[in-house]
């Protein structure tokens, strides 16, 4: 029987043609193009997180240019020389790294965790032997651009996420949980202290402690680690005169702000000059020799002077938004590794920001901690942006739509190990958007 004699056959044929994308379907009296489905290059990106990071980068670029134009004019012969040749290059490289790590499935990198830890330890040892002496410390290579201490902060997050999130991790055990944790963190922190770099060592210990707690460690074990770290910290402080001087100046400054250390006094002066709304972008006076490192460690004081208390409050609000979004992504994660990555990198960024802001406002003794996304830096900006890229990858994987067969496989292979470890972060199957677990 021909199509002309069978209207049902013709209608069935038209329906099959319409289902084929990329063709123009001809009917009796009209033609209708069927478009190819659009393929998104970067699907399911966490747009709020990207917006937060972009705003912080823009503020950082503006402040770095403002803090360096005079010095750049004297050194490079143009006001934008340093900004273009150094800071923009670092930002572009870091953004590219962020996109690469956001596009690639974060679980792909887990296999390199042990090698990254080994490389970091070797780098920390090498910098003690071949590093450059800058301001009495040996912390970096190539003129301060590459700092193994910054890599160590990233590595401790990545390695602990891989280890604590694995199926056979026994976090609550003394011998299989606390002892290896203390050994790994202790070795990294000790090598950083030898540089000496007490602030980076403190960041490593604090970030690792947050991850250990969230992974479900015994509270008594965490207390023991905290007490041991505090005791060792006090012993280390007795070994370096410069650290004792900073603490002495800080304690004196609590009663008379004019007697505090020079760095803190100049930072507070910048905030006083800025008032509520600032003196205007580019109008800072403290950056002309009075405030040490105005484009790196002291950049928050420049923000306070030029943008005022309101501008500084906007920066603080952005970090709070970053923390909220980071922990939300951790709850969305499909597996323990992804959840701990988000918790670790979020805690790392917030601890750095809190320390920098606390130093600039005289709340804690003076330390050299950059302000994430804003301070000028090569390795510091790069590792932070890679961390954000991994968080974006966790969000992308957690929110993408999967075929039914793949979703069934996820349910069948659901990781139940956190149930027995009593993790303080909800299990993957109980997070919004995750595959439900079987009871």
Cβ–Cβ under 8 Å, residues 353 and 373: no
For residues 232 and 105, what is the distance between their CA atoms, to the nearest angstrom?
A: 39
For residues 428 and 165, what is the distance between their CA atoms, to the nearest angstrom?
A: 11
Segments of the chain scoring below 70 in pLDDT: 1-43, 77, 81, 131, 133-138, 140-145, 167-169, 242, 253-254, 256, 258-259, 401-439
- List the structure tokens of 356: 């920098």
Q: What is the DSSP string of 364-422?
A: S-------TTTS--SHHHHHHHHHHHHHHHHHHHHHS---HHHHHHHHHT---HHHHHT
Q: pLDDT tens-digit profile of 332-342?
A: 998 899 999 99
Supply the pLDDT for residue 419. Answer: 39
Closest CA to 424 of 219, 214, 161: 214
| The model's pTM | 0.81
For residues 358 and 351, what is the distance between their CA atoms, to the nearest angstrom?
A: 10
Q: pLDDT tens-digit profile of 356-387?
A: 998 888 787 777 788 999 988 778 899 999 99
């Amino acid at each position: 029987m021909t199509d002309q004699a069978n209207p049902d056959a013709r209608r069935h044929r038209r329906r099959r043609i319409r289902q084929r994308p990329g063709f123009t379907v001809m009917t009796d009296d009209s033609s209708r193009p069927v478009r190819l489905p659009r393929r998104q290059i970067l699907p399911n990106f966490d747009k709020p997180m990207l917006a937060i990071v972009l705003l912080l980068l823009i503020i950082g670029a503006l402040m770095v240019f403002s803090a360096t134009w005079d010095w750049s004019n004297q050194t490079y012969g143009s006001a934008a020389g340093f900004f273009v040749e150094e800071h923009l290059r670092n930002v572009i490289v870091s953004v590219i790294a962020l996109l690469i790590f956001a596009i690639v499935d974060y679980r792909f990198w887990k296999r390199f965790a042990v090698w990254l830890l080994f490389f970091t330890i070797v780098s920390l040892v090498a910098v003690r032997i071949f590093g450059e002496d800058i301001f009495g410390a040996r912390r970096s290579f190539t003129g301060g651009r590459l700092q193994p201490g910054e890599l160590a902060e990233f590595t401790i997050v990545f390695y602990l996420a891989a280890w604590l999130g694995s199926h056979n991790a026994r976090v609550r055990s003394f011998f299989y949980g606390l002892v290896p944790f203390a050994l790994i963190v202790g070795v990294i922190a000790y090598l950083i202290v030898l540089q000496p770099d007490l602030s980076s060592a403190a960041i490593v210990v604090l970030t690792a402690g947050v991850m250990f707690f969230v992974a479900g460690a015994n509270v008594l074990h965490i207390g023991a680690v905290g007490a041991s770290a505090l005791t060792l910290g006090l012993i280390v402080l007795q070994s370096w005169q410069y650290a004792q001087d900073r603490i002495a100046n800080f304690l004196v400054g609590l009663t008379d702000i004019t007697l505090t250390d020079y760095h803190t006094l100049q930072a507070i002066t910048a905030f006083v000059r800025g008032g509520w709304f600032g003196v205007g972008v580019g109008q800072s006076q403290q950056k002309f020799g009075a405030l040490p490192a105005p484009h790196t460690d002291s950049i928050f004081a420049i923000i306070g002077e030029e943008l005022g208390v309101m501008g500084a409050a906007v920066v603080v609000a952005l970090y709070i938004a970053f923390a909220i979004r980071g922990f939300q992504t951790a709850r969305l994660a499909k597996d323990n590794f992804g959840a701990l990555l988000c918790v670790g990198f979020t805690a790392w960024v917030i601890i750095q920001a809190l320390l920098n802001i606390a130093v600039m406002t005289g709340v804690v003794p003076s330390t050299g901690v950059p302000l994430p996304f804003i301070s000028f830096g090569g390795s510091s900006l790069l590792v932070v942006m890679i961390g954000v890229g991994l968080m974006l990858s966790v969000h992308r994987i957690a929110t993408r739509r999967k075929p039914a067969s793949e979703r069934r496989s996820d349910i069948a292979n659901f990781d139940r190990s956190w149930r027995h470890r009593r993790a303080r972060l909800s299990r993957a199957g109980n997070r919004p958007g995750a595959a439900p677990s079987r009871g």
